[in-house]
Amino acid sequence: MIESFRPPTRVLMGPGPSMVHPRVLQAGARPTLGHLDPSFIGMMDELKVMLQRAFQCDYETTFVVSGPGSAGMESCLLNLLEPGDQAVVCINGVFGNRLKEIVSRCGAQPVVVEGDWGSPVDPEVVESCLQTHPDASLVAFVHAETSTGAMSDARRLAELAHRYGCLAVADCVTSLAGSPLVVAEWQLDAVYSGSQKCLSCVPGLSPVTFSPAAMQRVQNRQSPVQSWFLDVSLLTGYWGEGQRVYHHTAPVNSLYALHEALVLLEEEGLSARWERHQLHHRALLAGLHAMGLSMVVDEAHRLPQLNAVWIPDGVDDATLRHRLLDDFQIEIGAGLGPFAGRVWRIGLMGESAHRHHVLRLLSALARLLSEMGQSIAPDAPLMAAEAIYDQAGETVFDSDAPVSER
């Protein structure tokens, strides 16, 4: 007989999912409503308004894909590409590769701009590529590469795309609510994100938004979108204004949770949350430096919410991560692809970006690394992080308190 599952309580400091606020967990456990219940529809309307504010855009076609970020990625690409189309795909990590894979699978031709892992996408290389591929209709890139911790210049890439008659599709899975993202001002045409990163909601949903230009492209399609489930024209019948047309049963309880996660974001304020990520990133960094660890990404392009750290020589990746998990209940992320075994990914996303989590991780990491033969001055990492918090003064303690207690 299989028994009810009781998960251990972990501190989630990997590349997502991040810690989920108790209010969000509670919201998801409220009684299920029908997906056409007027009360539920009212909640969807609020959700849409809050998503537009989080994305910083007024795009009418803003909704939640009933699947994880990868489903959001497919949704943006499948709806905007037709067989035979050319799409410039910028690859500087795992998720750029995934973009390319999906472009191919919808029968379009990916034109790849390869960049170094850990560096941002180079706009000049993108521009040369656009010059030599005048038929390209779309540029896809990852704003915040979760596999490397590098941030690309989404605004500049979108400008380039438009200059060459392309739509700009941006993967903002890890950037939304974690670092500045201003969808309308930057003129991004299709953006997808995930619920489980800096929104700190349960995993499984993908907020998306399509610009009017993107929706024009959808309306001008010659061929049907290859996925019925992800067809944005059908989905707007359910998420749009007026009479709601049944498409599929919405993930009702997860949407309650996302609604609450967005209420928490509004209580904190979007720019306050961006700043909070910065602050805890700086404290983490000070602590890591005090341990002699170094970062994969240079300072100018570093994401505060995803910190890729070189694993020091002589330390076994898996052993350390397992001990962190087993002895300290802390999860950090492994490296992917060429970074496997060489890099740790430390997430400071949403509810994971709090002082007590940062200090707990630094303390555990310092202890384990010392045990594994690294020379670390006792207390130095914690003191370095505390110094950052002290410098930041009172606001630290304010923004470190749970939102509900402020």
Which SS3 state, helix, strand or coil, does residue 36 take?
coil
Which residue has tokens 């019925």? 228
At 389, list the tokens.
Answer: 């918090």
257 binds a second copy (CB under 8 A): yes
The pattern of x and - marking residues 366 through 405 that bind a second copy according to CB under 8 A reads ----------------------------------------
- Looking only at the bridges linking them, the beta strands covering 330-331 and 11-12 are parallel
Site for a second copy in 297-326 (CB under 8 A): 325
Which of 113-121, 181-189, 257-265, 289-297 is the region at the interface with a second copy (rule: CB under 8 A)? 257-265
For a second copy, the closer of residues 189 and 331 by Cβ is 331
Q: Which two tokens stand for residue 73?
A: 């990625």
Decide: 225 and 233 in contact? Cβ < 8 Å. yes
- CB closer to a second copy out of 70 and 278: 70
Among 58, 165, 185, 248, interactor with a second copy by CB under 8 A: 248
98 binds a second copy (CB under 8 A): yes
* Least distance between a second copy and beta carbon 163 (Å): 30
Chain CA centroid to CA 273, Å:
14
The contacts of residue 19 (CB under 8 Å, 6+ apart) are 11, 12, 200, 350, 351, 352, 357
Contact status, residue 110 vs residue 116, Cβ threshold 8 Å: no
Specify the residue, 64 or 167, whose C-beta has the smaller distance to a second copy: 64
| Torsion of the alpha carbons at 211, 200, 68 and 75, rounded to the nearest 10 | 0
Binding mask 258-297 for a second copy (x = CB under 8 A): -xx-xx--x-------------------------------
CB 234 within 8 A of CB 247: yes
Site for a second copy in 31-60 (CB under 8 A): 31-35, 37-40, 43, 46, 49-50
Per-residue DSSP letters for 69-121?
Answer: HHHHHHHHHHHH--TT-EEEEEESSHHHHHHHHHHHHTT-EEEEEE--TTS--
| Residue with smaller CB distance to a second copy, 31 or 314 | 31
- Beta carbon of residue 145, minimum distance to a second copy (angstroms, whole number): 15
The distance of closest approach from Cβ of residue 134 to a second copy in the complex, given in angstroms and rounded to an integer, is: 27
Enumerate residues 112-171 that contact a second copy by CB under 8 A: none
For position 341 contacting a second copy by CB under 8 A, the verdict is no
Task: Identify the residue among 186, 239, 256, 274 touching a second copy (CB under 8 A).
Answer: 256
The interface region with a second copy, picked from 20-28, 109-117, 163-171, 362-370 by CB under 8 A, is 20-28
Distance CA 55, CA 15 (A): 20
Q: Contacts with a second copy: how many residues (CB under 8 A)? A: 81
Output the smallest distance, CB 230 to a second copy, in A.
Answer: 9
Our finding on whether 342 is near a second copy (CB under 8 A) is no
In whole angstroms, how close is the CB of 93 to a second copy at the nearest point? Answer: 13
Q: Which amino acid is at 169?
A: V
As a whole number of angstroms, the distance between CA 77 and CA 249 comes to: 23
Query: DSSP letters of 147-159?
Result: TTTEE--HHHHHH
For a second copy, which residue of 246, 327, 341, 371 counts as binding (CB under 8 A)?
246
Characterise 107 by phi-psi region: left (phi > 0), alpha (psi -120 to 50), beta (else): left
109 belongs to the binding site for a second copy (CB under 8 A) = no
- Binding positions for a second copy, 189-228, rule CB under 8 A: 194, 196, 202-204, 224-228
Instruction: Indicate the pairing of strand 190-192 with strand 206-210.
Output: antiparallel
CB of 87 to a second copy, least distance (A): 15
Nearer to a second copy, 264 or 291 (CB): 264
Minimum distance from residue 216 beta carbon to a second copy (Å): 22
Cβ distance to a second copy smaller for residue 316 or 390? 316
Cβ closest to a second copy, residue 152 vs residue 196: 196
Q: What is the 3-state secondary structure (H, E, C) of 270-289?
A: HHHHHHHHHHHHHHHHHHHH
